[in-house]
Amino acid sequence: MKKFVCLALSLMTVLAMFTGCGSKTDTPAATTEDTANQDTASQDTAAEDAAAEDNAAEETNGTAEALAGTVNTDGSTSMNEMMLIMMEVFEELNPDVTVNYSGTGSGAGIEAVLNETVDIGLASRALKDEEKTNGAVEHIVALDGVAVVVNPANTVTDLTVDQIAQIYKGEVTNWSELGGADQEIAVLGREDGSGTRSAFEEIVGVEGECKYTNEYSSTGDVIGQVASNPGAIGYASLSAVDETVAAVKVDGVAPSEETVKDGSYTLQRPFVMVTKDGVELSAAAQGFLDFVMSDEAAQYITMAGVVAP
């Protein structure tokens, strides 16, 4: 009897063991490989989460580091149209930046940046060696034609550079000497220190020799005076010329974007943004300068009536 009980207990133990094995077959124990895969998956998920957090942090930092502040510029009035367009576009792209522009003339703008009272000076001529020696740094942002303008009633439509020089030196004083009406020539131009005047006199070869009837402090004033005086002649940025005056041909070539770009129109000069050597610009000011000199800005330079370099 005892042997039977022992045998029965042994059988029950064996059955229990088989039953346990059957349970393990239904739900297999994790192997070392499975555990490794799970660990790898967990690590991948953690890495993805960390990358997402890093991206979010970068986006937040990018927003925090967006350009902000004020950029002060001063100088050439001839660059007015280009500056207004550039300011508008840049401020739309950077709503936390304000760009200020004062048109006081090229000489004043260069002096202001050297005195560190503005971030960027504006000159509608190339910098002089003396200015560069004093620390002025030249950034050419556009090319502009200097148009010689007369009243629309004037029948003279083409002048040589030599004839223009004779007019401004006072050697030719009546339009009849050039095939026009018997009318005295009123010789108009910009004030001393103007980039337009400096460029015009240098190109024509009349520096220090001009006999002006009147001098004006802005391009707009010259245009307005020529428009109201049938005997007047003046010079202005090509971008400022409108229907109230007539731009004459120079040596047979009419001023235009195309003739400035190909060099056939000889009365042309650079538009320059000026910084001071050794002075670090604010992020906003550097961003504005970089934008104006970028390929993206070329379309806006063209809209202003000047030529991208």
Q: Tell me how many domains the chain contains.
A: 3
Q: 97 and 131 share a domain?
A: yes
Q: Which domain holds residue 299?
A: 72-309
How many Cβ atoms sit within 10 Å of the Cβ of residue 243? 7
Q: What is the pLDDT of residue 1?
A: 41
Q: What is the pLDDT of residue 17?
A: 44
Give helix then strand counts, H and E, for the chain: 11, 11
Q: What is the pLDDT of residue 258?
A: 93
Query: Which mean pLDDT values do the consecutive 10-residue runs of the chain (309 residues) have?
Result: 40 42 44 51 53 44 70 95 97 98 95 98 96 98 96 98 98 98 97 92 95 95 97 94 97 95 95 98 98 96 91
Q: 172 and 39 share a domain?
A: no
Q: 50 and 87 share a domain?
A: no
Burial class (CB in 10 A: 0-12, 13-18, 19+), 220: middle
Q: 80 and 151 share a domain?
A: yes
Q: 145 and 213 share a domain?
A: yes
Q: 52 and 111 share a domain?
A: no
Q: 149 and 60 share a domain?
A: no
CA distance 148 to 248: 6
Q: What is the pLDDT of residue 44?
A: 54
Q: What is the pLDDT of residue 42?
A: 52
Q: 214 and 303 share a domain?
A: yes
Residues in the chain: 309
